[in-house]
Structure 1
Amino acid sequence: MNEDDLVLPADDNSFQDFKSMVEEKEGWEVIFNKKNVCVSTRAQTNSNIKLLKAVTSFNDVSAATLFDVIHDTEYRRKWDHDMIEMKEICKLCVNNTVSYYAVKCPTPVKPRDVLFLCSWIAYPNMRDPKEYLMINKSVSHTDYPPKSNMVRAISLVTGYLIRPTGPNSADFLYLTHFDPRGSLPKWVVNKVAEFFTPKVIHRIHKAARKYGAWKKKNGSNYKPWLWPEQCKLPMAKPGKLSARVDQVAVIDETGLTEDKTANGRDPAEISDDDEA
C-alpha cells in the first residue's frame, strides 16, 4: 500500500488544525441565526464545497454530557431519527475508531452513507477538561464498499468543539466540510445547511437533557470513549483500511424540484414533538 493511503491516528496537529478552523473569524457568511443557533458558511479556495459552522451555547447541560451524547452509539438510536444505521467497525488506538453511518435524506434524494475515522481528545486531560474535541474524516474499508441503494458521501473534515462554561453549561461549536456526492442542485445543499443543521443541534440539546435518566437504565458505567479498557473493538487489520475514499458513480439528482423535498418548517420552530 502506498504511504499516502495509510490511515493514521489523529495527532495534536490534527486537533489544533480543526480548532483553528472553528475559531477563525474572517470570511464567514451567516445563513441562519435564530434561537441562539448561528450557522455560517465560508468558501474554500481549494474546493467548491463550502465549510459550514454552527455555534451555540447551552445553559442546562454539561460539556461532559454533550461529549457522552455525541459518542454513545446506542443512545444515538433514540434521538437521531434520520439515522438508518450506525456501526463501529475497528480501532486504530484508544481514541481513534472507524465507523459506518447511513442517513435518510428528504424524498426523493437518495440516502447517504459515510465511512469515517473518528478521533477525540480532552485538553488538558479527561480528569479536568477545559475543552473536548472530536473530529472525523472519510476513509475506506474493503469490507464496507459503497451500496447500490445509497450515495457514498465524503467527510473532508467534521467535528465538535465543546467548552464547559460552568458545571451545567457549555459552548458548543460544530464544523463540517462535507461532500454529499451526486449531482445535487444548489438549493438542496442550501436546505441541508439552513434546515437540517439547526435541527440536529436542537436534537442534540434535547438528547443531552434526557441522557442522564436514560444512561442510568442502560449501562451507566459503560463509556468506552472515556475508559479505553471497555472498548472491545478489534484492531484494524493491515490492508483493510485506506485513506483513499471509494470511487462511486455520479448519480444525477439535478432534476429534483424544491416542492418535492421541503416540508416548509422553520428549524427555529421545531417543537418538543420532535422527540429525542
Structure 2
Amino acid sequence: MNDPDTVLPADDNNFQDFKKMCESVDGWSECYNKKNVCVSTSLQSNSNLKLLKAVTSFNDCSAATIFDVVHDTEYRRKWDHDMIDMKEVCKLCVNNTVSYYAAKCPPPVKPRDVVFLSSWIAYPNMRDPKEYLMINRSVSHVDFSPRNSMVRAISIVTGYLIRPTGPNSCEFTYLTHFDPRGSLPKWVVNKVAQFFTPKVIHRIHKAARKYEVWKRKHNASYKPWLWPEQCRLPPCKPGQLSARFDEVEIIDETGLKDENGTNGDDPADVSDDEI
C-alpha cells in the first residue's frame, strides 16, 4: 500500500480524469466571453474556491508550438511579466518534473509561490499527436521551504489540453483549481482568477506567434519535454519530496473591499510590446 505522502508520477488515469474535467459541460457558469476566449467556473462540493476553465482556439499557431511555449522555462521569462522566479528542480521520470515558481500579485496582495509536479503526455504518441496534456499539482520539497516574503500557494490541479485542428491551428483548454492561501476573501480569489485568466491566454497566444523566431536564436535543438535524453535535471532523492503541503503562517490580507466590476484594462487587450 502506497504511503499517502509519497509523490508518484501521473498515470493514464490522472490524465484521463483531467481530460474529462476539460470536456465536461454540466455544472459550469460562464463568466467571460470575449475575443474568442470563454471562461467558466464550477462550484466544488469540497471547496469554496471555484474550478475555472478557459476555452479558446488559435488559427495561427500549431498545437506543437503551444505545447513548446507552456514548457519552455527560458522563453517564459520573456512573456510572463508576473513571474519573479522559476526553477526546474528535479525529475521523477522522463515526463514528470518538479519546479518552483514565484509570481507578483497586485498590491496590497503579497507575492505567491508554489512547488509543483508537472506531468505531460501526447496521445497516441509524440510522433503523431492527436492531443497534448499537461497537468500540475502542488508538492513540497525539502530545499524549497516557504519564504517569509511569499505566501505558499497550492495548485490542486492546473493544466492544459491542446488539440491540433490543422497544421497551424489548434484548440486550447486551460483548467485550474488553485488556492492562493493566506486569508484573502474568497470573492477576491474568484474574481481575480476570472479576470486574470483571459490575459494569460492572450499572452500565451502572442508569445506562441513569436516563439519559433526566438527559439531559432536560443538553443534551438534543446527541447527536453520532447526529447527526454536532453533532460539535465537530477533524479529526485528519497525523502526530498512529499505530497503533504507545507505548513504556512496565515497572513492577513482581508482589508480588500469588494467593488462592482474589476479595475484595469480589458484582459484581452495585451499589446505585442508586452511580449
Normalising to structure 1: TM-score of the pair?
0.96
Look up the match of 1:181: 181
Q: CA deviation at 1:191?
A: 3.2
1:158-210 Cα deviation digits (max 9, x unpaired): 00000000000000000001001011124421332222100000000000000
Tell me what 1:229 maps to. 229
CA distance in 1, matches of 2:256, 2:229: 48
Equivalents in 1 of 2:121, 2:46: separation in Å? 28
The residue number in structure 2 matching 1:54 is 54
Larger mean Cα displacement after TM superposition, 44-53 or 234-243: 44-53
Map 1:39-50 onto structure 2 (within 5 A): 39-50=39-50
Where does residue 76 of structure 2 map in the other structure?
A: 76
Q: Residue in 2 aligned with 1:3? A: 3
Task: Report whether the alignment pairs 1:118 with 2:118.
Answer: yes
Provide the aligned length of Structure 1 versus Structure 2.
272
**Identity %, equivalent residues:** 78
Partner of 1:249: 249
Cα distance in 1, alignment partners of residues 185 and 48 from structure 2? 13
Separation (CA, whole Å) in 2 of partners of 1:12 and 1:72:
24
Q: Tell me the distance in 1 between the aligned counterparts of 2:253 and 2:67.
A: 35
Q: Which moved more, 1:264-273 or 1:233-242?
A: 264-273
Q: What letter corresponds to residue 141 of structure 2 in structure 1?
A: H
Distance 2:185 2:47 in 1: 17
Give unmatched runs, 5+ long, in structure 1. none
CA positional deviation for 1:242? 0.2
Residue of structure 1 in register with 2:159 after alignment: 159
Q: Compute the TM-score of the two structures, normalised by the length of structure 2.
A: 0.96
SS in structure 2 opposite 1:3? coil
Q: 1:14-163 counterparts in 2 under 5 A?
A: 14-163=14-163
User: What amino acid does structure 1 have at the position aligned with 2:168?
Assistant: N
For residues 269 and 190 of structure 1, what CA distance do their matches in structure 2 show? 21
Task: State the partner residue of 2:192.
Answer: 192
For the residues of structure 2 that align with 1:73 and 1:145, how far apart are their CA atoms? Answer: 21
Measured in 1, the distance between the counterparts of 2:94 and 2:173 equals 24
User: Which residue number in structure 1 is paired with residue 266 of structure 2?
Assistant: 266
CA distance in 1, matches of 2:263, 2:50: 24
Aligned partner of residue 18 in structure 1, secondary structure: helix
- Structure 2, unpaired ranges of 5+: none
